[in-house]
Amino acid sequence: MFSLISTRHRTENLFYNTRVRASISMHWADVIAKDLAERSDHPLIATGISPTGIIHVGSLREAITGESIRSAVEGLGKDVRLIYLIDSFDPLRKRYDFLPEEYEKYVGMPICRIPCPCGKHENYAHHFVQPFLDAVDSLGVHCEIIWTHELYEQGKFAECIDQTFQKRQEIIEILHRISGKPADPNYAPYDPVCAKCGRYTKPLFDTYKFPYVEYQCSCGYHGKADVRKADGKLTWRLEWPAKWKIFGTAAEPFGKDHAAAGGSYDTGKVIAKEIYGIEPPFPIPYEFVQLKGVGQMHKSLGCSVTGLDAIRMTPPEVLNYLFLRVLPSRAIDYDSGLGILDMADEYDRMERAYFSHEYTDAEANSVRAYEIAQHNHVPKELPLQVSCRHLCNVVQMADTFDEQMKVLGRTVDLTDATDRDFKRIKRRCDCVTYWLKAFAPDKIKFSVSPTIPGGTKLMMNDKGFLQSLVSRMNDCVWEPEVISGIIAETGKISPIGLKNAYKVIYQLLIGKTAGPRLGTFLASMDKQFVINRFNQAAHSDM
RNA sequence: GGGCCUGUAGCUCAGCUAGGUAGAGCAUCUGACUUUUAAUCAGGUGGUCGGGGGUUCGAAUCCCUCCAGGCCCGCCA
């Protein structure tokens, strides 16, 4: 049976939680969901982000992990909520390289009170979190967005802040005991914001009398903060468990940094019990996402793969699947090279397996991962599948989506395609296009030249080959198999041989010596365009 | 220094909770087809399960130990 309850507070190994199996091939999200559902009828799952800077791929893993558990619990018939806390009241820690010089003066201020770097958003926090919220939305994460600075404005933290002043010595003792760091008698669990300069400062403890505490800011201002208002904030190690109390959090995914022994979960757990008097949430620590082959790809771009890059180049359903197919305890190497196509292919394969019910025991977990990746919105029947690999070729042959669909229509039957199918294909086209532009290796890139590429040199025999090719193509059915058959036969008979025949064709169309397989490639193009090109080359002087 | 995660086929990973003859996909090779290139189908090759001990009739699986990689212990997931 399930033993999660008895093991859930093992501090020595938080990752143990997700290794627990109820039976062979049960997905980790189901194991956790079942445990949550057994303990509560209205479980709340919390997750969040601190949008102090550019968002990375790992933040997406957190959101997807939370959503997958939410949907798994929902699948068990429970009324479950997923909240997404945006830490908009966090201070700007330093002026990052990507910020202009003048932002130096904002260091130490809450990010919801710092102007937007681009001027298009409400403030600094909005600027950095907005693209991420868009991503979360496109990933199908069903969460309620909550801004931490609003919680402070509403006085939600007041009770906890009061307790931290009452029990400050206990807190210092706990932090010392759990984290092993030397006790700091001046530790402040609460930092007021200076009403004059707008930066966080330290409180004068002995002036505290609910709801006010005084402070002497380094800017010279002496002021008074109201803990019922957004006049200051709890420090992270106290704020986190305070959020658990405010929302009654039942489970929360978080990065392994918080999971380290003596880290903020360890101290938070004890503070939750001994200071705030609540039970800590079920911890779901997850490993970090790394980037494969980081060194090389940076140089060409001058930057690394951010969460935005990941969402732009990976179709959302595939990205969901990528994070669900492995245990949270496993580090993921995000492969922004060819591996991205392999991953998309694997996703499609699991989709087929799900609908055909034909898969091995080893694949069962991945098929369930596919299902969970739909967040309880699994299609009724197998959608029209067009591989990203094929779309790579299509998007390089036409610029607009309408034209791309015309191209695609030459090799894929789109007559029964639904709106939903087109939406998915559109998303995939967008991702593939972005990927080609930013990360794809050169060998799969090409562009069909509007005229014969400059520098093309043809011998007499090459032209002879093209002439016989054209005469065969003129009245043939324009289909992949027919085309490749003609090329093979004509090339073999020709003095230049089949190998060179391929080279000549690629050269004339894309100016390279290799390219996509010719059958589908040529079939994707207009027949007359191809024939004209070959004809023109056969009769030219080059 | 303390702690966590990981190490299974060339690559990405299942399998370990409750020990019972090593599994998938991709890649590669070969063949459907008189079409070798980045689309499709079938089949094959491929691993002393990081090393070494121990428990056991039997260990990828449990225990001990060592090695390697990654990461955390300052509010970057």
A25 touches strand B (CB under 7 A): yes
Say whether the CB atom of A515 is under 7 angstroms from strand B.
Answer: yes
Cβ of A486 near strand B (distance < 7 A): no
As a 3-state breakdown, chain A gives helix, strand, coil percent values, each rounded to 5, of 50, 10, 40
Task: Decide: CB of A187 under 7 A of nucleic strand B.
Answer: no
Distance in angstroms (rounded) separating the CA atoms of residues A540 and A273: 85
pLDDT digits (tens, 9 = 90+) for A489-520: 888 788 888 878 888 898 899 888 878 888 88
- At A304, is the pLDDT very low, low, confident or very high (cuts 50, 70, 90)? low
Look at residues A296, A313, A338 and name the one whose alpha carbon lies nearest to residue A440: A338
Residue A10 pLDDT > 70, yes or no? no
Residue A264 CA to residue A53 CA, distance in Å, equals 21
* pLDDT band per the 50, 70, 90 thresholds, residue A266: confident
A387 touches strand B (CB under 7 A): yes
Distance between start and end Cα atoms, chain A? 77
Tell me the nt nearest to A483, Cα to C1'.
Answer: B35
Distance A66 CA to B7 C1' (A): 28
Find which nucleotide's C1' atom is closest to A443's CA.
Answer: B38
Q: Is the CB of A325 under 7 A from strand B?
A: yes
> Are A272 and A241 a contacting pair, CB within 8 Å?
yes
pLDDT tier at A197, thresholds 50, 70, 90:
very high
> Whole-number Å distance, CA A486 to C1' B4?
61
Length of chain A: 542
For A103-141, write each residue's pLDDT tens digit: 999 999 999 999 999 999 999 999 989 988 988 898 999
pLDDT of A9 above 80: no
For tokens 């199996």, name the residue.
A21
Residue with tokens 């918080």: A258
Judge whether residue A528 has pLDDT over 80.
Answer: yes
Which nt is closest to the CA of A325, judged by C1'?
B13
Query: Tokens representing A41?
Result: 């009828």
Residue at the smallest CA–C1' distance to nucleotide B27: A342
Nearest nucleotide to A389 (CA to C1') is B38
User: Nearest residue to B14 (CA, C1')?
Assistant: A362
Task: List the A52 CA – B76 C1' distance (angstroms).
Answer: 9
Q: Is the pLDDT of residue A169 over 50?
A: yes
The confidence score (pLDDT) of residue A18 equals 45
- Does residue A163 have a pLDDT over 90? yes
Dist. CA A528–CA A147, nearest whole Å: 59
Q: Which residue is nearest to nucleotide B4 (CA to C1')?
A: A260
Q: What would the mean pLDDT of A18-31 be, rounded to a whole number?
A: 60
Q: Which residues of A472-494 are buried (b: 16+ CB within 10 A; e: fewer)?
A: bbeeeebebebbbebbeebbeeb
Residue nearest to nucleotide B40 (CA to C1'): A481
Residue A23 reports pLDDT greater than 70 = no
Q: Which of A24-38, A250-264, A283-297, A508-522 has the lowest mean pLDDT?
A: A283-297
Predicted confidence (pLDDT) at residue A471 exceeds the cutoff of 60: yes
Q: Angle of helix A158-166 relative to helix A236-247, nearest 10 degrees?
A: 130
Q: What is the mean pLDDT of residues A60-81?
A: 92
Measured in angstroms, what separates residue A518's CA from nucleotide B35's C1'?
Answer: 10
Structure confidence at residue A13 as a pLDDT band (50, 70, 90) = low
Distance CA A134, CA A431 (A): 15
Residue A380: band (very low, low, confident or very high) from pLDDT cuts 50, 70, 90? confident
pLDDT at residue A44 tops 90:
yes
CA–CA dist A105, A86 (Å, integer): 23
Name the pLDDT band for A14 (thresholds 50, 70, 90): low
Q: What is the pLDDT of residue A515?
A: 82
Residue closest to B16 C1′ by Cα: A19
Give this complex's ipTM.
0.81
User: Per mean pLDDT, which range of A16-30, A138-152, A225-239 is the poorest?
Assistant: A16-30
Q: Is the CB of A423 under 7 A from strand B?
A: no
Of all nucleotides, the one whose C1′ comes closest to residue A236's CA is B75
* Mean pLDDT computed over A29-55: 87
As ranges, strand B nucleotides with an atom below 7 A of a protein CB are 2-6, 12-18, 23-26, 34-40, 69-77
Q: Write the pLDDT tens digit of every residue in A212-228.
A: 999 999 999 999 999 99
* pLDDT value of residue A119: 92
- From CA A7, how far away is CA A5, in angstroms rounded? 5
Q: Is the pLDDT of residue A417 over 80?
A: yes
Say yes or no to pLDDT of A191 above 90.
Answer: yes
**Which of residues 111 to 150 on A have a Cβ less than 7 angstroms from any strand B atom?**
none
Measure, in angstroms, how far nucleotide B52 C1' is from residue A330 CA: 26
The mean per-residue pLDDT over the stretch A354-367 comes to 81
Q: How confident is the model at residue A24 (pLDDT cuts 50, 70, 90)?
A: very low
Distance A320 CA to B70 C1' (A): 23
pLDDT value of position A241? 94
Shortest-distance nucleotide from A359 CA to C1': B24
pLDDT of residue A476: 84
Model pTM score: 0.88
Gap from A71 CA to B63 C1', Å: 39
Helix boundaries (H) for A40-157: 57-75, 124-138, 148-153
Confidence class of residue A301 from pLDDT cuts 50, 70 and 90? Answer: very low
